[in-house]
Structures are given as C-alpha cells and as structure tokens.
Structure 1
C-alpha cells in the first residue's frame, strides 16, 4: 500500500484519533478495577478525564454502593447517576476548584474500615483540585500558577512547587483516608508516567518533600507571593506511611504504540522517538525537521515512507511582551514548518490528546509542503508570528487547525511527522 501526498492529512488524522481512542476510559478502565468492596465505594477524582472515568466506574459496577465527587474542567462533564461531577478552571485554578477539593477531602475522610476509596486521577488535576496550604490563599495560588505557566520550567519542577503549596497534592488524599483501602486509577499525561507527577500525586508520597526549592522560588521571580516563597523554603508535609495501590490504565507510550500499528497497516514504517520528549516547543520543531530531512535525503534512520511518532510535554517560555494566541503543539508545528521551508515530501500533525492545546479551542494543527505559502498568501509572516507566540492565529487563518472538542481523556501531546 502506498500513501500519496493527498492521503497524508487523512492518515495523520487517523493516527491521532487512534492514539486518543487508546486512552478512552470507557474501553480501558474496567479491567483495572480492584475487588468489589464489602462496604461502600467512595469515588473521588480530579482531571480532564475525571468525569468520563467516573461514568466508566458506574457502568462497570452497577451493583456496588457508589458515591463520591470528582472535578473536571469546564465543558468536560458527562452525565453520571451516583457520582457527583463538579467543574472548575484549568490551567489556572479558581474558587470552584477549591470548593470541589474540600468536598473531595471530606468524602475521603468519611471512609470506614470496610470501605474502598477509589481515586480517579488524570492530567489537569493539579489546577482543578486546589486546596492551599496555610497561610497561602487561593489568590496566592492563582498568581503562582500564572508564573509557572510563563516560566519555561519542566513539568517535573512545576509539580515540585505545586506539591509544596497544596494540602491535597503529594499524598494529601492518602493521609486523609486514615487507613481505609485506597486504590488509584490513573491516566498519565506526564513524561515517565511518574505517579507523583500525575495531578501532582494526591495519593502517593511526595518524593521532593524535603528538597530545597529555593532555586525554583528564584526562577519564579519577584512577583512570587511571600507566603508561597516561605513555604517553598520550608519542608513539606509529613509523608504517609501507607504503600499506595496505584494502577496506570492509560499512558502516552500505549497510545503511541497503537498509532504505530495503524501506520504499519497503512504501509508506513513508524519510528517511536519517545513518549517523554521535553524542551522548548519551537526548538523541538527544528530538531524534528532535521530528522525528517535525513529520512527523506538519506533513508536514515529509516527509509521513507516513514512516520516519526513522539509524545511528552514541551514548554513555551513567554518573555515580557504580551503573547499572541497559541499552544505548545501549534508552536512546535510552526517551528517545524519554518525549518522545513516547504519540503515537498514532509507532512506533520501535532495535538494535545485532551482536545485543547493550551487555552485555545483546537487540539492542534496540520502542516504540509504548502503551509508557508498559504500563510503568506493569507497575510501572515510565519517567523514574526512564531516569535510572537501567535501560532494559533496563523493556522486558523489558513484553515489548518484540528478541532475535536474535549476528548475526555489526556495522555499529553501527540506528534507525527510523515515523510513520503
């Protein structure tokens, strides 16, 4: 089977769709459930997939005494009958997230010795379930989150900060369970699938509880609230002694492998470059362009037709100027397109598997040999817009955005660079 230039966008979209489907809680959650409890099952959770995960639990356990509450992003709720669903803001927390966090804490604390606390965790939970450590206020945490988003810090360092400043992160729910059985089902959106990093680890001990975070406080600058700075310079909360029962039900590598199988079925050789790629989005675009050029020119590391697959979470460091509209996936793609300069055999797609790239209404976009030409015909200067972090606007003008709406799952970014 051969793939033509005209087939490329449809094939790339197919790979993205199967990657997302591989992380659908409706299909994957039930097989990871523990033994049914003799008492109640108290379900709590936070993240962009929390509501769809709660619905999957209800479908799998119609005969279990279920109750509880989960919090998800605005627009990501789905109908449930026994588990309450709350909505809150992401990526910057709001008061609704704090109210939901208190409900979740109370539900966990009510568990008895015969009850099961089933915790549903997915990406986005760090912002959605927010309970500031005293004397920090919600307003303080909002400022911290905005600073983190502009900082260029890795997700690992961001989570070190979040765990230090929040009562529920870094094992807070595990402490609240008071010895009741607690099982976590998680969908990973972080490099390496570290349980302490997914939603900042509310059900696992904080591995950085005694770390010196002064260098991170310095990195966040003079606008860091003094209460936050003081907490970052002090040790974290005492760590729970319990051993967590933590079950990963979906992860970036699983989705990449599913997409790879779909590529092979289409007659294209997949190369999975990694599920945990990090760094500046535009710089990764340049690197990927170089690898794709090597495939096209020299057949290394694999002759064409081939597709380079990768996942992970890049960063976009914003300077002092007000940025345009964009997310890390469209910025990656614009960096890639500028580096490729209209290469006739290379196409690409990048998108966030939750359906939302940054704070925009698109999951990502498509790039082809004609991307730069179409952009200039639409009155866009690609390099200037890349410098202004205005990638969304460019792809919107040329009709290359991918809009899926909320997918109700989240295994982080998906990137596919196709060389024909």
Structure 2
C-alpha cells in the first residue's frame, strides 16, 4: 500500500473516478445514430440529460432540435436543444409542463424522422405527466409514500409506470412511426431499461395488478383517483410486443459496473487490491451496513476472504424505511449502520455516496467514516444509535465535518460504497 495517500484522500479519488467514468462526454458520442432522411428530434429526462444533450450538440453533424428536462441546478448551456429544470424526487408543475411539451414535440413525425431520447436516473420524477383523472397533487402524494415505504426502485417504478402518460413505453408509442433511439445512463440494479426513469420508451411487461400488489405489500395509502385508475385497468402500460415499438432501439451507454471498475483501477494504482462485490446490492441500507461490517471485520482480523490491505467496492440502490424525522439519505444511513457495527475497528475506513451528488433530498453526496468516527461523535454529544433510529445520517456526519459534497455531478449511476481495510491503524 502507498502509505503516502491518506485513506480519506484515496477513497475520495475513487469516488471521483466513478463519477467521471459515467460522464456523458465519455459515453455518448460512439452511440449516436446515423443521420435520418428526415428530422432529428432530441428529447430526454434525468439528472444527466442536459449534459447528454450538450454532448449530442457537440458531436451531431447536421440539424437538430429538441427539449430535455433535468433537475434544478443540473442544467448546462445548449444552443439548439432547450433545457428545462424541474423538481426531484417529488415532481412539480415544471416537470409536468415539460413532459406535455415533449409529447407535443414528437406528435406528427414520419417514418423518415428519428427521435433521440436521452434518459438517465431521476427521469421518473422529472417526466411527470399523470393519466387523465389523476392530479399532480395525487401524483406527488404517491411519490412521497413510495419514497418512505422501503420499496425497491423496481417496485416504485412499476407503480409509477401505471399512472403516467409517458412512462411504460407510452413516450415511444407517441413517437410512432418515427424511429426511436434511446441512450440510457443506468442508475438501477440490474440495468433493466424498464426501470431506468420508469422506461418511457421501453415496453413494459408488468401490469396494473402488479402495481396494486406492491401498494398492498407496503400498505401505501392511495388517493381515490389513483386507486380507480389501477383497479379499472385504465393505467395499463404499453407492452413489449406493441407494433408501435417496432422501430425503438435501446442502448445502455453507462452503468454502475463501469463506474465501480474505474474506481477499482484507482485503488490498484495506489498498490491496493480492489474487489467489486456487486453492482446491484439492494435491501434496507442499515441491514447492508451490518452485513458489510461483518465482512470487513473478517478481512481485518483474519485476512479472509481477502488479504489486507484491500478495498471492497459495491454499488446498487439500497432503501430506507423512514421512521424518524432526521435528514435521511440511504448512503449515510448505510455508513452510520456500518460504523456502529464496526465499533471503531482499527484500520477500517469507508466512503459512501450517490454518484449524482444528492443523497436523499440533501445537496450532499454522502460521507466518510473512520475508525475514530464514533469516538469523535460521543465527544460532541452525538448518540450514533439515536441518529440511526431518527434516519439522521446527514445530521450525524455533518456534525463530524465528514460530509462529502460534490455539487451537481451531471451523471447518475447509483450508489457508490468503498470500504478500505488497511490491516493496520492509519494516521
């Protein structure tokens, strides 16, 4: 191990490398379609969509026009593609208006035209256009309930697909008979295109009955309008064999595994073997924290199943069942649970963060954990278990001065977790 690199700096460099690996300017150009005989219309939604649009403009040889919607603060200057900003993770009126304008832009296209759809994580909330009879307030209520329920991202997006005029393949169907090429930056475990921004251009094999089963599973209270749409079947999505999707092509241009591999390279260059455990870990964040703490202790104390020094890297999307009134964030919830389980284990450090720069609803990507984190917390009057019970990871690590703040990263390939096990106490 290169002891000249402090653990915090090494982990921060790995996190930055993961973010950089999924930047649109790196992954978009080689996947652009052939110029059509007719028009190229660019649409899209997600935290990376504006940066994706800028890359398209920089590399497209001919005429184009379009509109994409991104999160507030994630816009970048574009010359020919209009950038609209809206709210995430709970949709707002700006997102609703943008979704309607996108539908209007793809109306009346011909078979000679091509629609280039730029989709990344966050698109579910940003591209919010509820079915007739469902108000924006109803959609917001459902979104808040889903976010607090502990449901997986796949389950949440199944419900969302059946309440929308654009999700679940409806946007691609609206583009017919034009060709649709969708470029995806994946932020979901398993990289299923159906689940990335709830699959606006992808046929959906799930049903209204599936959505209702999820609602029952998590005891989610539904507004009457939403329940009616699901129970009547009016919310049924566009299926994979729908002929309107025959000219729809989907390409994943960046995914969590790519980012984790880049982070592993940074560790290797510092002389530390890195092991990618999985790019798709799900489950309650605090439970994942306990499991990975047990693994880290096994490595630190017994050099099994990996020898020290090493770094254990993982991605995916954990969930938080909100019970407290703290400042949340699934990555800091994981990290706080990890720290409590490790209980100051010597030589074990960790960083966890969301690659979009926003963990939960805070403009904070994540945090850093060291062997002395709990001791420092107690000296400051913090009680780690109480902070965890209150879902207050951001409050805990913010008080310690260990928050990781990146600002808008302009991409999103899900959670990043790295546990550095040195085999010795580092300064």
Q: Same fold (TM over 0.5)?
A: yes
Number of the residue aligned with 2:421: 419
Query: How far apart, in 1, do the equivalents of 2:304 and 2:232 lie?
Result: 50
Instruction: Give the deviation of 1:211 after TM superposition.
Output: 4.1
Is residue 151–residue 219 contact of structure 1 (8 Å, CA) maintained in 2?
no
Number of the residue aligned with 2:425: none
Is residue 158–residue 210 contact of structure 2 (8 Å, CA) maintained in 1?
no
Query: How far apart, in 1, do the equivalents of 2:259 and 2:350 lie?
Result: 17
Is residue 147–residue 220 contact of structure 1 (8 Å, CA) maintained in 2?
no
1:84 alignment partner, one of 82, 85, 92: 82
Query: How far apart, in 2, do the equivalents of 1:220 and 1:302 lie?
Result: 38
Number of the residue aligned with 1:46: 45
Number of the residue aligned with 1:24: 23
Paired residues for 1:129-144 under 5 Å: 129-144=127-142
SS at match of 1:43: strand
Q: After the TM superposition, which of the residue ranges 216-225 and 68-77 deviates more from structure 2?
A: 216-225
Instruction: Give the deviation of 1:220 after TM superposition.
Output: 5.0
Is residue 208–residue 230 contact of structure 2 (8 Å, CA) maintained in 1?
no
Instruction: Give the deviation of 1:251 after TM superposition.
Output: 0.2
Paired residues for 1:20-419 under 5 Å: 20-61=19-60, 63-209=61-207, 211-221=209-219, 223-235=221-233, 236-239=236-239, 240-241=242-243, 242-243=245-246, 244-319=248-323, 322-419=324-421
Q: After the TM superposition, which of the residue ranges 211-220 and 322-331 deviates more from structure 2?
A: 211-220
Q: How many residues align?
A: 416
Q: Which runs of 4+ in 1 moved over 6 A?
A: none
SS at match of 2:204: coil
Q: Deviations over 1:105-150 (max 9, x none)?
A: 1112242222110000000000000110121111110000010011
Q: Deviations over 1:287-341 (max 9, x none)?
A: 111000111111111101111100000000013xx51112000110000000111
- CA 1:284–1:100: 2 relative to 1, 3 Å: same
Query: How far apart, in 1, do the equivalents of 2:273 and 2:219 lie?
Result: 46
Instruction: Give the deviation of 1:39 after TM superposition.
Output: 2.1
Say what the alpha-carbon RMSD is for the aligned residues: 1.3
Q: After the TM superposition, which of the residue ranges 223-232 and 406-415 deviates more from structure 2?
A: 223-232
SS at match of 2:124: helix
Query: How far apart, in 1, do the equivalents of 2:348 and 2:320 lie?
Result: 24
Q: After the TM superposition, which of the residue ranges 209-218 and 391-400 deviates more from structure 2?
A: 209-218
Q: After the TM superposition, which of the residue ranges 373-382 and 78-87 deviates more from structure 2?
A: 373-382
Query: How far apart, in 2, do the equivalents of 1:238 and 1:275 lie?
Result: 29
SS at match of 1:156: helix
TM-score, normalised via structure 1 length:
0.96
SS at match of 1:189: coil
Is residue 217–residue 229 contact of structure 1 (8 Å, CA) maintained in 2?
no
Uncovered stretches (5+) of structure 1, i.e. residues with no partner = none
Query: How far apart, in 1, do the equivalents of 2:75 and 2:135 lie?
Result: 27
